[in-house]
Copies of this chain bind each other. A is one copy, B any other.
Amino acid sequence: MEESSEGRNRGTPLACAACKLLRRRCMQDCLFAPYFPASELHKFTNVHKVFGASNVNKMLQDLPEDQRANTVSSLVYEANARLRDPVNGCVGEITALQRQLADKIAEVERLQVLLEAEKSNRSPSS
């Protein structure tokens, strides 16, 4: 078998990060190759640790090609969050953001009340 111009069909050094980690040949039609370049091995390593390569493969296969890059990017984000915080993962960020949002909503309401009070204080003299 001839090596392709990209040198990916014989498990050469240009194999994608997934095929490198899983020690398999990286074929021309490799589902992972467009999203996990060899230079970013940690990206695939983390996603594989959290979701497992076969689950990620299934997820990508079930989606149209133009949605796969965004899917990979959200999977990488989630995997990194889970490795940073094994108990809460991404949900820790959601909880923190919900708390910050609730604080800001309360502050908006407080400021609106103050503003109304200022306006009505001013009106008798104007």
Q: Which residues of B contact A55 (CB under 8 A)?
A: 49-52
**Interface membership of A24, Cβ < 8 A:** no
Which chain A residues numbered 74 to 126 have a C-beta less than 8 Å away from chain B?
A: 74-75, 77-78, 82, 86-94, 97-98, 100-101, 104-105, 107-108, 111-112, 114-115, 118-119, 121-122, 125
Q: Which residues of B contact A107 (CB under 8 A)?
A: 104, 108
**B90 close to A90 (CB less than 8 A):** yes
Binding site for B on A (CB under 8 A): 49-52, 54-55, 59, 62-63, 67, 70-71, 73-75, 77-78, 82, 86-94, 97-98, 100-101, 104-105, 107-108, 111-112, 114-115, 118-119, 121-122, 125
